[in-house]
Amino acid sequence: MADLIVIFRFLGAGFLEVIRLVPVCVLLSLALGMLVGIIQFARIPGVYQLLSAYLIAMRGIPPLVFLLLLFFVGGFGSARIAALFGLSMYHAAYISEIIRGGIRALPKGQFEAADSLALRFHQKMLHIIIPQVWRSTLPAIVGQYIILVKDTALVSALGVMEILYNARQAMQVVYQPILIYFLVGFLFFIVCFSLERLSLFLEKRLT
């Protein structure tokens, strides 16, 4: 019983760090991903090529390698800040592809209707296109954030005291590796399963 109390104390502290990381990463990656997706759809010369290189890099580099590069080369003084920026930048690339795909999937009539109103590009996107894209892509975006939650386990490599880092700390006090990692997996499963149910619910409601 005493061992369980020690284990839950460590894992609880790590889980709280995950809860602090995820909402910030969600907001940053969503904002950046939507911006990149819109710019990529607009195909602005110069910017399009630059962002394409960013997207190719994010798709080709494993997230752990990117986090380590960002931490050691990026000049971040804090592992937590490096983790926030790294996860946000990495997942923003995938969010942008979801957004761009959602825009391209809209019927041409929606763009023609927006053009008939003589709206500027940002007005068309803000008032007509993005609200429709948001509804159609929300389940896929939630699905991407399931991956984000699991990727938070990678930031322990930077020294961020999230749940996996604290699991290793707990094993130095209570050597119960099977139990500890089972509980870590169970906590991640509960969060990811809940998000998956949310994604399915949104998909049914929005289609």
The DSSP-derived string for 27-66 is: HHHHHHHHHHHHHHHHT-TTHHHHHHHHHHHHHHS-HHHH
Question: What tokens does 9 get?
Answer: 């104390």
Count: domains in the chain: 1
Per-residue model confidence (pLDDT) at position 160: 79
Residue 4: which residues within 8 A CB-CB, separation 6 or more? none
What is the reported pTM? 0.87
Give the CATH number, domain containing residue 116. Answer: 1.10.3720.10
Mark the ranges of the chain whose per-residue pLDDT is less than 50.
Answer: none
Q: Give the per-residue pLDDT at 97.
A: 93
Q: What pLDDT is attached to residue 75?
A: 74
pLDDT the model gives residue 27: 94
- The pLDDT value recorded for residue 195 is 87
Could you list the residue range(s) of the whole structural domain that residue 89 is in? Answer: 2-206
Count the residues in the chain.
Answer: 207
| CA angle in degrees (0–180, nearest 5) for 38-40-46 | 125
Predicted local confidence at residue 28, as pLDDT: 95
Give the helix ranges, DSSP H, for 74-129.
79-105, 108-116, 121-124
